[in-house]
Each structure stands twice: as C-alpha cells, then as structure tokens.
A = this chain, B = another copy of it.
Amino acid sequence: MLVVMKHGASETEVQAVVDEIERLGYEARAMPGKQRTTVGLMGNDGGVDAARIQGLLGVLEIIPVTKPYKQVSREWRDSDTVVELDNGVRFGGEEINIIAGPCAVEGAQDILDIAHQLKEAGATVLRGGAFKPRTSPYSWQGLGEEGLKMLARAREATGMAIVTEALDPEGVDLVAQYADIIQIGARNMQNYPVLRRAGRSNKPVLLKRGMSATIDELLLAAEYILAEGNEQVILCERGVRSFDTHTRNLLDLTAIPVVKSLSHLPIIADPSHGTGIREKVIPMARAAVAAGADGLMVEVHANPPEARSDGAQSLYPEQFKELMEQIRMIANAIGREVQRPV
C-alpha cells in the first residue's frame, strides 16, 4: 500500500502516517519525491483497513498495491480451483460446460421437456428461476418452492445438474436443499447476508457480477463466501451497465482473462443477460468460449414468444443445438473440450 501525501505536507504529518502504519503492525518507508512524499506500507497481508490512514492530515490518496482479497487470489492458491458436481460436471478444468434452460420454471411438463432437449444438444446443467427478482413489483415473480420441486424432478429424469437463484438468506437454505448450485444474482452480488449464508452451505455457488461491479468488487464478494469456508465458487460475467442502448448490458468478455490471471476460481459467461437479444446471444456465446470462459449460461425456451419472462433473449432449441456445434469447434481450436452429458 502506498500513501501519497499532499504537496507541501509537513514532516509532522508524514511522521503521523509512519507512526500509524507501525501501530498497525506493519513497516513504513517514507520516500520524499520531487512533488510529494509517499509512504510505503510494507508487509501488507491484505488485511489493512485503509480508512484510518486515509483520514490522517496531509494524506492525498491511498494507492493499494496488495489486492484487498486474499483467498480468491492466485497468490493464495496458484492452481485452478475445479468445482465438481455430483454428476461429474467440472467447472475450472480443461472441460467447458454449458448451463441452459428457460429464464423461469413455468410448469412441470415444460421444464421436463426442455431439459430432455437441452441434454440431447449437449448441456450438462439445467437452469430455471423459481424466485425471480423483477425490476417492477407488478411483474410475475416465479413459482417459488413449487418451481424448485419441478427442477428436482427434471434432474432425476435427465441426470443433469440444476442451478437456480436464491434472493435472501432463507432462500439460500431452501435452494441448497434442491439444487446442485446456488445462484446469487447480479442484484445481490453485495448482499452480504446472502453471501455469508451461501458460504456456510455445502453447495457450490454461482456468483454473478453486479450491474456495475468492478472486477475487484466481484472478487471481494466471492471472498465473503470463501471466508465462511466454502471454496466451491463459480464466477459469472453477465454484462455491465453502459451508455449504449442497443443491448441490455455490455458483455465484458475481457473480464474473463482478467479474472483468470487474478484468481484461481472458474469463470463462465451469460450472453443471454449480457446482450438481451436473441440474435446477439449466439456470436457472444462463441466469443466467450474463445476468450477462455470455463462455461456458458444460456437461456433457451421451447417457444420464446410464449415465455413468461426474457422471451426476447431466449434461444429456440434448434438455435441452441447449432450453437453447441460451433462451440465444440472453438473449444478445440484453443485446446479445450466441451464436456459431454453423462
């Protein structure tokens, strides 16, 4: 950590920074520069709370050198974390896995039918929302626990793993009973009670990047889960807020190699929410795999015009099938492989 002093900061002010750093148990090294003095904090183990120093007189800014996260970092663990599900599906290894399904679970037969089609096309994990966070209180909010049961039956019937979203701490426990992966959505990326509860569950967690979260904030959110003892975290890039209105979000695929270099956790991409438009999902799904994603999460609906939500961004089953073929070829081009359903 580097403490930059204001131009003209007094020696007393510099000394106060040095003293505070030493009081916190670290080594301080003052470096007088031509324009301003800087004080280096040496031996930072990631646990320094900069607020105390930032408030001292004469301090211009704090420049973090050590990253604020620990357990999620490559420094903590160099080798890739592989999250392995009960049905053998692996995120974070050589294989690429595709999560697919409707935005929301709409009915028992519907989810079963689409699951069979998706597995046939090559998906290994089934998605479907039972608790839907909706921007408007007047939009439909999902089937609740009934939806979870329908997902569980689809899993029994197909052998696919299932992932679904939890919205609050109790929801985390409920989802953990039914699903293979607990999803924490973009709106809840910094919902700390939910993160902590997921960290105390024994289920893998799919953590989506917040609407305008920096990559460091995404990793710090994951750190909340690891700090509670759960290392089975899969990150998900799903687009960030932007100024262009042609797409719902701006899919930040560069986040994939950036996360890969900072962290050992697997990362996948969600081109459906990342674009919001069916025709853009396919090229961006391909691009995500080419950029190094460990998997994809794609919305597919048997009949998108009839979908109760996100119809405009849901693929038709035939489109999904075609996409899977392209993805297999791209995976091969970069020395990876799409994992086959069991």
Contact = CB atoms under 8 A, between A and B. Distances in A.
Given A38-B40, A283-B257, A329-B332, A51 B193 contact: no
A257 B244 contact: no
Interface in A262-302: 274-275, 279-280, 283-284, 286-292
Interface stretch (A175-183, A200-208, A211-219): A211-219
A298 to B, nearest CB: 15
B74 A7 contact: yes
Contact of A31 (B40, B51, B240, B245): B40
A340 interface: no
Contact of A254 (B220, B261, B275, B326): B275
A42 B33 CA distance: 5
Contacts of A307: 51-52, 55
A190 interface: yes
Contact of A54 (B56, B139, B251, B312): B312
Interface string A235-250: 0000011111111001
A86 interface: no
Contacts of A194: 168
A246 to B, nearest CB: 5
A136 interface: yes
Contacts of A308: 51-52
A97 interface: no
Interface of A: 2, 4, 7, 29, 31-36, 38, 40, 42-47, 49, 51-52, 54-57, 59, 63, 65-70, 74-75, 133-140, 167-169, 171, 187-188, 190-194, 210-217, 220, 223-224, 227, 240-247, 250-258, 261, 274-275, 279-280, 283-284, 286-292, 304-312, 314, 326, 329-330, 332-334
27 contacts: A4-B65, A31-B40, A33-B40, A34-B43, A40-B40, A46-B138, A52-B311, A63-B63, A63-B65, A70-B138, A133-B190, A137-B224, A168-B193, A211-B211, A212-B212, A212-B241, A212-B243, A215-B246, A216-B246, A240-B243, A250-B254, A253-B284, A287-B288, A287-B291, A289-B290, A326-B333, A326-B334
